[in-house]
Structure 1
Amino acid sequence: MSASKLIRRKPILLALLVGLCGNATLATLSVSQVSFSIFPIIALALAARMLYREYLSAPMEGDTPVCTLLAFLVGVFGYSAILRTEFPEMGTNFLSVMISLILVIWLAIKMGVAARPVAEEDVKS
């Protein structure tokens, strides 16, 4: 329980942004249905730089590295699901949505957001 209190939110949010922007950059450069834009590339560079600075400024203790990886994967699979929803000719988004959902649930459990409340009898003993 004490490991969940060591999880910082800033690297998790930045990892989610890096995942989204990385997949958006890849889609911009490789998918013909998506029009080219420089903004995902700029956002990826800025988010990756901020994540690296955050990594250098404070140590990642507890479950922070695992949660950061989960948030990155949620960003990657989430953008893939959104892209396939927008362009159905690319294929189904079922697998991306299911993987994103499983990863979000796992992230919520790791961070303690989805933890069950502790009964008063358990706290006293």
Structure 2
Amino acid sequence: MSVTKNIRRKPILLALLVGLCGNGTLAALSVHQVAFSLFPIIALVLAARMLYKEYLTVPMEGDTPLCTLLAFLIGVFGYSAILRTEFPEMGTNFFSVMICLVLVIWLALKMGVAARPVAKDETVTP
């Protein structure tokens, strides 16, 4: 018995982009090692607008809201890990990488990407 999950991918990708761009905007405005750029701000506004439009037009059913939140947090912690890898004087990225890894595994399980195979009933009829 195979269960199909009704999880849309578009809001999940947009939430990931909002998380990345949100943390990128925050880093561009507050971290002195990161050069200022308008591109993360523009991308954040556009991605947030598209996510809001998607939220208004299509109902989020099933596990879509939870998967969207997980993707947003993956974006936030993922950018933090990348930033700390690029600038090691900011501190270690161990915490960000571990949280990101746990969230990715949880998202994969929720979306059915890493689902365990379902054993079929082996009934033999003579």
What is the CA RMSD across the aligned residues, in angstroms? 1.2
Are 1:8 and 2:13 counterparts? Answer: no
Cα offsets for 1:40-83 (capped at 9, x unmatched): 00000000000000000110000000000000000000000000
Amino acid aligned to 1:11: P
Residue 114 of structure 1 corresponds to: 114
- Measure, in 1, the Cα distance between the counterparts of 2:59 and 2:6: 10
Q: Kindly report structure 1 stretches of 4+ aligned residues shifted beyond 3 Å.
A: none
- Measure, in 2, the Cα distance between the counterparts of 1:92 and 1:71: 22
Q: How far has the Cα of 1:120 moved from its partner?
A: 2.3
For the pair shown, the structure with the greater C-alpha radius of gyration is 2
Residue 39 of structure 1 corresponds to: 39
Are 1:20 and 2:20 counterparts? Answer: yes
Calculate percent identity across the aligned residue pairs.
82
Residue 49 of structure 1 corresponds to: 49
Unaligned runs of 5+ in 2: none
* Greater percentage in helix: 1
Unaligned runs of 5+ in 1: none
Residue 86 of structure 1 corresponds to: 86
Matches within 5 A, 1:67-106: 67-106=67-106
- TM-score computed with the length of structure 2 as normaliser: 0.93
- Measure, in 2, the Cα distance between the counterparts of 1:100 and 1:94: 10
- Measure, in 2, the Cα distance between the counterparts of 1:96 and 1:36: 23
- Measure, in 2, the Cα distance between the counterparts of 1:32 and 1:58: 40
- TM-score computed with the length of structure 1 as normaliser: 0.94
Amino acid aligned to 1:21: C
SS in 1 for 2:113: coil
